[in-house]
């Protein structure tokens, strides 16, 4: 950057111009509303997965996680395919009632954006709060019940305060995703709605106003960093030592009608929320103007244009999986070390590093990718052509999730547990392996699942760092979407459906791993 004058000018303009102030305000309030909506819808879901055993639960959880791993571009397109003016529901209603115009006019409305955010983030709260909830001793709530508290009072006076760390953690993550939402707003929000992230993109790519883009990035980073600092300070104060509770003792089968109502209601909600857009997406991948067709899938394996950028989709799948596995490994190692460090260090050091470890989350993916190119393109660290660059970028995005998943569990381990193990003659490493690891194991796996799926779906940074001949699946989809015509659109849908398949398969694998590992806990 040549000199510092422009930055100040841009910053000043940010606050004096009504347009940018409106953008800041919109970014903020849509994130708040999206987060609250997600929380309200996902808390009952977290309750049923933590308390009940029912057939197909694992499958349902994996299913609910699918939206989260989809590239935001695909999420947006799936909602377009479902609720857009020419979407599945409108077409259905028009045909049923013979309407001339689409009855649902959601295009470019805030509601559309909010729905897509809930769809996308539902699983974050489901997993983090559900995981924490399943470790709460149910007799605490029962004690409150016997003491005379109605179910409602038990929830608000006992359960909710105990869940607070997990709710804060997951809510914060959701808020940040919504705050820095990009693809969803760009596609569903139309030209009138813009978050800071979208504005950065417009300024940088459409208007070539790099100073303004940089100023906006700065605002975003500062704002989120500030929030995280407040949040981590809050969280450290509210650590409650619960001690882990065996999972088997807690979860009960459905017995009463009320149980069935709760479980059934939430299963239906998940199926509707997650299922219908995905169904619309898959339907469109098989649907051309003339009816059902495999043409889009067949076309994926051909190269009619003979483009030099063409890479068989199968290779994109393989690259995606490879990158995701390396990312998982890196993120778990780095995330675990970071979480361990944070849980051991007290006071100012921890207070300082905690938000720093979250920094990659607050930076926009676009900025991150761009930064990678600028920072790592010359010796001694020239990774520009290395295959490692993509997993490295993904790790930077993914490891904060591992930290956030593991830290609450790590902090809930009573000091006496570790002390007693070391007094029993265990070396520090044995203490870690025999005491801490089994207790945090479940949270660690949750973090690892996140890392894997984030890598599979990551788009903003990958678009900068991946080389043309080693694309990931989201990149391949993006390329199809960028070209005109029903054929390309259909292929994008087909590729998205494939990505869904791969991520769902990966999830089921990890979920299975989790069940098998359970015996050791």
Partner 1 sequence: MGILDIQNLAKVIESDLVLQNINLSLQASEILCLLGPSGCGKTTLLRLICGLETPDSGSILYEGRDITPVDPHLRNFGMMFQEFALFPHKNVYENVVFGLQVKNWQESDIQKRAQEVLALVGLTELRQRNVNDLSGGERQRVALARSLAPQPRLLLLDEPMGSLDRVLRERLLTDLQLILKKIRITTIFVTHDHNEAFAVADRIAVFNAGQIEQIDRPQDLYKKPANRFVASFLGFQNLISGTVSADGGIDTPLGTVHLPQAEPSAGKTVTVLIRPEAAHLVEPSATPAAGELLVTAQIKDIRFQGAEYRLTIRTEKGECLVVNLPNDIQAPQTGQQVRLGLKESAMSVIEA
For strand 52-53 and strand 252-253, is the pairing parallel, antiparallel, or unpaired?
A: parallel
Between 143 and 222, name the residue whose CB sits nearer to partner 1.
143
Between 142 and 377, name the residue whose CB sits nearer to partner 1.
142
Q: Which of 46, 62, 195 is nearest to 116 (CA)?
A: 195
**In the complex, what is the shortest distance from the CB of residue 139 to partner 1, in angstroms, rounded to a whole number?**
4
Q: Which of 252, 250, 251, 253 is nearest to 137 (CA)?
A: 250
Between 105 and 241, name the residue whose CB sits nearer to partner 1.
241
Q: Which of 473, 466, 193, 442 is nearest to 314 (CA)?
A: 473
Between 238 and 307, name the residue whose CB sits nearer to partner 1.
238
**In the complex, what is the shortest distance from the CB of residue 296 to partner 1, in angstroms, rounded to a whole number?**
48
Q: Which of 402, 382, 299 is nearest to 341 (CA)?
A: 402
**In the complex, what is the shortest distance from the CB of residue 262 to partner 1, in angstroms, rounded to a whole number?**
16
Q: Map tokens 């999830």 to a residue.
A: 507
HEC assignment per residue over 399-447: HHHHHHHHHHHHHCCCHHHHHHHHHCCCCHHHHHHHHHHHHHHHHHHHH
Between 131 and 277, name the residue whose CB sits nearer to partner 1.
131
Run of H or E including 287: strand 287-288
**In the complex, what is the shortest distance from the CB of residue 407 to partner 1, in angstroms, rounded to a whole number?**
18
Question: Which residues, other chains included, contact 325 with Cβ-Cβ below 8 Å and sequence gap of 6+?
Answer: 452
**In the complex, what is the shortest distance from the CB of residue 412 to partner 1, in angstroms, rounded to a whole number?**
10
Between 59 and 240, name the residue whose CB sits nearer to partner 1.
240
Between 83 and 242, name the residue whose CB sits nearer to partner 1.
242
**In the complex, what is the shortest distance from the CB of residue 52 to partner 1, in angstroms, rounded to a whole number?**
13
**Three-class SS of residue 54?**
coil
190 vs 484: CA distance, rounded Å? 19
**In the complex, what is the shortest distance from the CB of residue 132 to partner 1, in angstroms, rounded to a whole number?**
13
- Which DSSP letter does residue 388 get? T
Burial of residue 504 (CB within 10 Å: 0-12, 13-18, 19+) is: middle
**In the complex, what is the shortest distance from the CB of residue 155 to partner 1, in angstroms, rounded to a whole number?**
12
Between 163 and 461, name the residue whose CB sits nearer to partner 1.
163
**In the complex, what is the shortest distance from the CB of residue 189 to partner 1, in angstroms, rounded to a whole number?**
41
- The answer to whether 216 touches 203, Cβ cutoff 8 Å, is yes
Between 162 and 176, name the residue whose CB sits nearer to partner 1.
162
- Interface residues with partner 1 (CB under 8 A) are 137, 139-140, 142-151, 153, 157-158, 161-162, 240-242, 253, 256, 414
**In the complex, what is the shortest distance from the CB of residue 243 to partner 1, in angstroms, rounded to a whole number?**
9
Between 161 and 265, name the residue whose CB sits nearer to partner 1.
161
Between 139 and 303, name the residue whose CB sits nearer to partner 1.
139
Q: Which of 158, 127, 160 is nearest to 58 (CA)?
A: 127
**In the complex, what is the shortest distance from the CB of residue 166 to partner 1, in angstroms, rounded to a whole number?**
13
End-to-end C-alpha distance for the chain, whole angstroms: 53
- The answer to whether 230 touches 172, Cβ cutoff 8 Å, is no
Q: Helices 473-481 and 72-83: crossing angle, nearest 10°?
A: 50
Concatenating the DSSP letter of every residue in 171-213 gives HHHHHHHHHT--HHHHHHSTTT---HHHHHHIIIIIS--HHHH
Q: Helices 437-457 and 313-344: crossing angle, nearest 10°?
A: 140
Question: Which residues, other chains included, contact 7 with Cβ-Cβ below 8 Å and sequence gap of 6+?
Answer: 1, 211, 214, 215, 218
**In the complex, what is the shortest distance from the CB of residue 240 to partner 1, in angstroms, rounded to a whole number?**
5
Q: Map tokens 């059934």 to a residue.
A: 264
Both tokens assigned to 461: 């940074």
Both tokens assigned to 341: 């460090």
Between 150 and 427, name the residue whose CB sits nearer to partner 1.
150
**In the complex, what is the shortest distance from the CB of residue 50 to partner 1, in angstroms, rounded to a whole number?**
17
**Three-class SS of residue 457?**
helix
Between 75 and 166, name the residue whose CB sits nearer to partner 1.
166
Burial of residue 485 (CB within 10 Å: 0-12, 13-18, 19+) is: exposed
80 vs 82: CA distance, rounded Å? 5
């Amino acid at each position: 950057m040549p000199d510092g004058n422009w930055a100040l000018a841009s910053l000043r303009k940010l606050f004096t111009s009504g347009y940018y102030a409106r953008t800041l305000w919109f970014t903020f309030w849509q994130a708040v509303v999206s987060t609250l909506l997600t929380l309200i819808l996902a808390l009952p879901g977290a309750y049923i997965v933590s308390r009940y055993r029912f057939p197909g639960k694992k499958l349902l959880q994996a299913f609910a996680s699918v939206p989260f791993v989809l590239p935001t571009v695909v999420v947006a397109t799936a909602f377009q395919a479902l609720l857009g003016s020419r979407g599945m529901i409108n077409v259905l209603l028009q045909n049923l009632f013979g309407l001339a115009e689409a009855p649902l006019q959601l295009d470019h409305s805030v509601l559309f954006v909010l729905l897509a955010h809930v769809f996308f983030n539902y699983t974050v709260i489901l997993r983090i709060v559900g995981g924490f909830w399943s470790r709460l001793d149910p007799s605490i709530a029962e004690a409150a019940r016997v003491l005379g508290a109605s179910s409602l009072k038990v929830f608000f006076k006992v359960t909710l305060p105990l869940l607070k760390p997990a709710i804060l953690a997951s809510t914060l993550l959701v808020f940040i995703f919504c705050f820095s939402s990009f693809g969803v707003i760009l596609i569903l929000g139309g030209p009138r709605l813009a978050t800071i992230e979208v504005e950065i993109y417009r300024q940088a790519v459409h208007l070539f106003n790099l100073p303004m883009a940089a100023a906006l990035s700065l605002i975003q980073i500062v704002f989120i960093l500030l929030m995280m600092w407040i949040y981590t300070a809050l969280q450290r104060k509210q650590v409650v030592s619960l001690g882990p509770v065996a999972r088997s003792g807690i979860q009960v089968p459905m017995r009463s009608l009320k149980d069935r109502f709760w479980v059934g209601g939430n299963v239906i909600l998940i199926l509707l929320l997650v299922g219908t857009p995905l169904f619309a997406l898959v339907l469109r991948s098989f649907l051309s103007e003339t009816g059902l067709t495999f043409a889009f899938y067949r076309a994926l394996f051909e190269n009619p244009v003979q483009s030099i950028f063409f890479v068989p989709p199968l290779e994109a799948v393989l690259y995606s999986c490879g990158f995701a596995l390396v990312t998982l490994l890196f993120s778990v190692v780095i995330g675990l070390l970071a979480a361990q460090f944070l849980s051991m260090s007290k006071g100012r050091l921890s207070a300082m590093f905690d938000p720093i470890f979250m920094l990659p989350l607050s930076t926009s993916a676009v900025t991150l990718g761009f930064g990678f190119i600028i920072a790592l393109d010359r010796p001694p660290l020239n990774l520009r052509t290395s295959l490692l660059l993509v997993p490295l970028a993904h790790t930077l995005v993914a490891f904060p999730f591992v930290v956030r998943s593991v830290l609450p569990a790590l902090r809930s381990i009573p000091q006496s547990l570790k002390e007693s193990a070391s007094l029993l003659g265990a070396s520090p490493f044995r203490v870690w392996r025999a005491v801490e690891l089994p207790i945090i194991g479940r949270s660690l796996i949750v973090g690892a699942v996140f890392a894997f799926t984030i890598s599979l779906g990551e788009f903003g940074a990958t678009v900068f760092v991946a080389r043309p001949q080693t694309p990931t699946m989201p990149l391949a989809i993006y390329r199809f979407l960028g070209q005109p015509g029903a054929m390309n659109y259909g292929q994008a849908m087909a590729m998205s459906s494939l990505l869904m398949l791969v991520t769902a398969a990966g999830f089921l694998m990890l979920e299975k791993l989790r069940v098998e590992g359970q015996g050791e806990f």
